[in-house]
Amino acid sequence: MNLLKQESTLDWNSLFKEANTVNELSDLHPEDKGDYFLVDCPVCGNHEAYVYKDNPRVIVCNRQNKCGTRTDVWDFLKEKHCLDDSGVFRLLAKKAGYEISQQSPEQIQRVRKEQKTQDVLKAADKFFKDQLTNSETEKYLLNDRGVPSSALKDFGHNPGYDKTVQQLLLEGFNEELVEGTLGMMRSRGDYKLVVTFYKPNNDILSFIGRRLNAMDSDQDRKYIPFLSFSKNICFGVEKLKNPECIYIVEGYIDAIIMNALGLPTVALGSNQPSNGQMEQLFSTFKTKKYVLCLDNDVAGREGIKKLYSVLRKSGRTGYIADWYDCKDPNEYLVKHGEHDFIEQCKGARKDYAFLLEKLLESYDNRSPMEQQTLIEEVIKLGIGITDPIEVEDFNAQVESLTDITQEAIKETLGDAKRKKAEEELGRKMKSLAKDTHQLVDSGKPSEALKHLLTEIEGFKGVQTEEIPNTVYTNDRLVEELKSTPDGIKTGFRTLDKYITLPSEGVSIIAGVSRHGKTTAMLNMLNNALNNQEYSGNTFVYASFEETEKRLLTKLMMMNAREMLDEENNFSEFIKYLREGYTTNQWIDIAKEKILKWTQQGRLILLDMTGKNIETLENYVYHYSQQYEVGAVYIDYIQKIQAKESYTRQMELQKISHRILDLAKASHVPIVLGAQFNKEGANGLDRMDLNHIREANDIGNDAHLVLGIWNTQAAAPSDKAITRNSSQPVDFRVKVLKNRNGASNMIVDLNLFPENFTILDKGATYGQH
């Protein structure tokens, strides 16, 4: 048995299925009958018992006039193999393919007890639902509540404790187990309507009973559970499948009806969320839009205010359905019909717009005291809105509904938001200081520094700043332009006519694999280092793909332009440099020049293999403070790791944003390599930004995007280009994006691949 599955993925609910336990029942002569196996009954011995494939934990002999027993497969295996509970667990886990550690008897017993309880609950659930047809509960749902017939399948009828127990005993369940599970039902016979409260994994959490004749004034006793449970999840959460929108109601019946109408809905079970209900939704689903469909009464309004705050703090947006002349969703459905009800839910208004209107209904005649109270209430609403467009809309609505100007409310809200941000920043700084201090006291200062640098990133969201000065004078404009460094040239005359690698911006060099991204970037680096205009600058080349020694060798080959071997010039250069030959003056001159650049701090090569974006940022900030950095070259984005765990597309998107921030903060041009996907191999004319592999939105952050095309690399294998080393390869560059000028033009260059050298057309290729 190849044990590939880890214990952390162990699913007790499917353990028996994965272990294929029917193979362990060979003594009972199993016959496959489709949905079940027909087996010998371990009690009466007749070949008339069943093991259902959807629940292979039990052997049932209770159909028609059989013996009526229900044998637990676990107990059968214990007796058959003379094992204890731990032994049965190891047997099943091994057969299911899990690699497990020792489970304590208590852990095993706890799970087994839960499984047996679930069997009872699921059998009771089926019984309640079977009892619904022609019951008083069904009549109540259809006639009094207007429940659509499609929703009836999710309701049940309670015929009473004694009848329920009697049925479960007939199905072979142990009387002690049944009574221990459903004992609370004894005193709840008048709660006829039953809804089943499921866990997210479809296990049963409890049954909720409802009185059919309950009055609104009897709210506290209208609903009651049949089992004790902690309400830390929303009712109906098991039905959600990552919806774009989640509807929230108070009542269980409302949730069942709305789900039947195609509206993904959960119920709080009250007018307020409690015990982490919303947190569970947020952690499970990516949904950003929530529609609040709470009751149209004072309690419902208070619940809406609470949910508004919870949603806004979590970065989600709320919408509110207005029931106007009705008290709750169910009454609106009965009065206006399904079509209008669905339209009312889908046409819910933005949360702050609804709340503003309801708030101002209470302030028709405003005294100075009422005016102050109104402003305070408006601030409570507005302080949670951070989206600039929503802020403007909120301010405009306040002005249209009151005599408060947009300027006044903007200033007041700005002060309140800054105060709140200051308080939040203070709390975070105290917590960070405490954690850092504890690490230092524990003799872990390096870990304290790492923790400090990591956590400080989170402060960006709560830092408070003064409102920016948007007024410009001529002196201020000239001063800021002077303080902004110019960009740098690529060093290719024909290309520099159209573009500049912009300072405080990102330039992308993109191409298909093997077309020369690294070669193009190294040539731009080499051109800058040889340009007297940049003699006082330092250039940083960070490679996530190549080592420093390989990069140094390639730079020396570009500058020497010597041919040591027609077939494998790079290997011969390595051999020449390693053996310490001094027989080629051009190589020796190039080597001395390159090494001098590194010794002077003009050339910084970084092997970033295995390092992440945070390390890169630290390096660039360090060198920017130490030198006058002319540019930073990063080869290439798809190789950069992120510390956090995201999907690869989101990971690259975040890395791209951080590189742009890095360019702005360090005030240098960043030249970033990127790989095209297979569509990028369709030819230079069809090349566009969408071809950047794994994250086509990387180009959105860039100021300049250059697509490269190597005609030799692009040639089909059966049409290989024949050439000698003195003949160049056509190397083409297409300007795909240029925020500072024209784009979509193509520049032709010459590539001499044996020495990784790119030159303008017509430029002399030979010794210096």
Q: 750 by DSSP, 3-state: which? A: strand
pLDDT of residue 644: 60
Backbone angles phi, psi at 423, to 5 degrees: -65, -45
Burial class (CB in 10 A: 0-12, 13-18, 19+), 510: buried
The secondary structure of 601-657 as a DSSP string is TSEEEEE-TT-BHHHHHHHHHHHHHHS-EEEEEEE-GGG-B-SS---HHHHHHHHHH
Distance, CA of 422 to CA of 427 (rounded, Å): 9
Question: Is the Cβ–Cβ distance between 255 and 284 less than 8 Å?
Answer: no
Helix 388-401 vs helix 368-382: crossing angle, to nearest 10: 160
Which parts of the chain have pLDDT scores under 70? 1-11, 13, 63-65, 101-102, 215-220, 362-372, 388, 403, 406-418, 420-421, 457-485, 642-648, 677-683, 685-686, 688-699, 717-723, 766-768
Question: For the chain, how are helix, strand and coil distributed in percent, rounded to 5?
Answer: 50, 15, 35
Q: Which residue has the tokens 């030159």?
A: 759
Q: Report the half-sphere exposure of 466 (CA within 13 A, side-chain side).
A: 3
Range 682-688 contact pairs with CB under 8 angstroms and sequence separation of 24 or more = 683/709, 683/714, 684/709, 684/732, 684/734, 684/746, 687/734, 687/736, 688/736
Tokens of 616: 């890169």
Total Cβ atoms within 10 A of residue 687: 24
CA distance 50 to 52: 6
d(CA 347, CA 245): 12
Farthest CA pair distance, the chain: 105
Provide the residue type at 306 as one letter: K
Phi-psi domain of 389 (left: phi exceeds 0; alpha: psi -120 through 50; beta: other): alpha
Beta-strand relationship, 289-292 and 265-267 = unpaired
Which residue matches tokens 């199993």? 30
CB count in 10 Å sphere of residue 751 = 25
What predicted TM-score, i.e. pTM, was given to this entire model? 0.54
Q: Which residues in 429-461 are b (16+ Cβ under 10 Å) and which e? A: eeebeeebeebeeeeeeeebeebeeeeeeeeee
Nearest one of 587, 563, 567, 565 to 577, comparing CA atoms: 587
Nearest partner of 728 among 709, 706, 754, 747, judged by Cα: 754
CB 676 within 8 A of CB 685: no
What pLDDT score does 457 carry? Answer: 66
Give, in order, the Cα–Cα distances in Å from 40 to each of 49, 65, 72, 100, 635.
6, 15, 14, 32, 69
- Name the DSSP letter for residue 564: S
- How far is CA 423 from its chain centroid? 28
E-state strands within 252-402: 265-267, 289-292, 317-320, 349-350
Q: What is the pLDDT of residue 467?
A: 43
Nearest to 502, CA basis, from 695, 698, 737: 737
Strands 746-752 and 603-607: what pairing?
unpaired
Name the residue type at position 236. Answer: G
Contact 447, 437 (CB under 8 A): no
Distant-in-sequence, close-in-space partners of 560: CB < 8 Å, separation ≥ 6:
584, 586, 587, 589, 590, 591, 755, 767
- 290 forms beta bridges with 246, 318
Residues 710-734: tens digit of each pLDDT: 888 877 766 666 667 778 888 999 8
pLDDT at 632: 92
Q: What is the pLDDT of residue 485?
A: 60
Residue position matching structure tokens 């609470």: 306
Please, are residues 28 and 37 in contact by the beta-carbon 8 Å criterion? no
Q: Which ranges constitute the DSSP H helices of 504-568?
A: 517-530, 548-560
In order of their start, the domains of the chain are: 5-103 (3.90.580.10), 114-229 (3.90.980.10), 232-361 (3.40.1360.10), 367-466 (no CATH), 493-760 (3.40.50.300)
**How far is Cα of residue 465 from the mean position of the Cα atoms in its chain?**
29
What span, in angstroms and rounded, lies between the C-alpha atoms of 177 and 169? Answer: 10
How many other CB atoms are there within 10 angstroms of residue 133's CB atom?
Answer: 10
